[in-house]
Chain A
Amino acid sequence: MQVQSMHFKARAGQKLADVRLQQNLKKLTTKFVTARSAALTELDDFEATRDQAVERRMRAIHHLDVWLDTFEREATRRGATVLYAETAQDAARLVVEIAQKHGVKKAIKSKSMVSEEMQLNRALEAVGVVPIETDLGEYILQINDNEAPSHIIAPVVHKDKDEIADLFAKVHQKPRLTDIPQMTREAREVLRPHFLSADMGITGGNFVIAESGSVAVVTNEGNEGMCTIKPEKVHVVVTGIEKVLPTLNDLATIMRLLPRSATGQSISNYFSLLTGPRGKDDQDGPEHMYFVLVDAGRSRLIGSEFEDMLRCIRCGACMNHCSMRRLYEPLPGVPENWWA
Chain B
Amino acid sequence: MRVGLMVTCLVDVMRPEIGLSAIKLLEAAGCEVVVPEAQTCCGQPAYSAGNKAAARALAEKFLDEFEGFDYIVMPSGSCGGTIRTHYADILADAPAALERYQRIQQRVYELTDFLVNVVKLDTLPAAMPTAFRGSVTYHDSCSGLRELGVESQPRALLARREGIALTEMPHARQCCGFGGAFAVKYGDISTAIVDEKCEYIQSSGADAVVLGDLGCMLNIEGRLRRTGDHTTRVLHVAQVLAGDS
Contact = CB atoms under 8 A, between A and B. Distances in A.
Nearest to A22: B192
Interface stretch (A152-160, A191-199, A223-231, A320-328): A320-328
A12 interface: yes
B189 A12 contact: yes
Interface stretch (B46-54, B66-74, B171-179, B224-232): B171-179
B193 interface: yes
Contact of B192 (A9, A16, A33, A321): A16
B188 interface: yes
A12 B6 CA distance: 38
B193 A324 contact: yes
A20 to B, nearest CB: 15
A327 B193 contact: yes
Contacts of B174: 321, 323
A328 B186 CA distance: 11
Given A323-B193, A323-B196, A33 B188 contact: no
A328 B182 CA distance: 15
B191 to A, nearest CB: 8
A16 B189 contact: yes
The CB with the most chain B CB atoms within 10 A, among A12, A13, A33, A324, is that of A324
Interface residues of B, number: 10
Contacts of B175: 323-324
Nearest to A17: B188
B186 A323 contact: no
Nearest to A323: B193
Contacts of A33: 171
B193 A12 contact: no
Interface in A8-39: 9, 12-13, 16, 22, 33
A57 B166 CA distance: 40
Contacts of B186: 9, 12
A12 B177 contact: no
Nearest to B182: A324
A24 to B, nearest CB: 15
Nearest to B191: A16
B137 to A, nearest CB: 18
Interface in B190-237: 192-193, 196
The CB with the most chain A CB atoms within 10 A, among B177, B189, B193, B196, is that of B189
Nearest to B177: A323
Nearest to A12: B189
A186 B128 CA distance: 68
The CB with the most chain A CB atoms within 10 A, among B171, B174, B186, B192, is that of B192
B167 to A, nearest CB: 18
A5 to B, nearest CB: 13
B189 A324 contact: yes
B188 A16 contact: yes
Contacts of B196: 323, 327
B188 to A, nearest CB: 5
A232 B197 CA distance: 53
B177 A13 contact: no
A22 B193 CA distance: 12
Nearest to A328: B189
B189 A327 contact: yes
Contact of A13 (B171, B188, B193): B188
A236 B72 CA distance: 59
B12 to A, nearest CB: 29
Nearest to B195: A327
13 contacts: A9-B186, A12-B186, A12-B188, A33-B171, A321-B174, A323-B175, A323-B192, A323-B193, A323-B196, A324-B175, A324-B189, A327-B193, A328-B189
The 3 closest A-B pairs by CB, nearest first: A323-B193, A327-B192, A16-B192
Interface of A: 9, 12-13, 16, 22, 33, 321, 323-324, 327-328
Given A323-B193, A323-B196, 18 more contacts: A9-B186, A12-B188, A12-B189, A16-B188, A16-B192, A22-B192, A33-B171, A321-B174, A323-B174, A323-B175, A323-B192, A324-B175, A324-B189, A324-B193, A327-B189, A327-B192, A327-B196, A328-B189
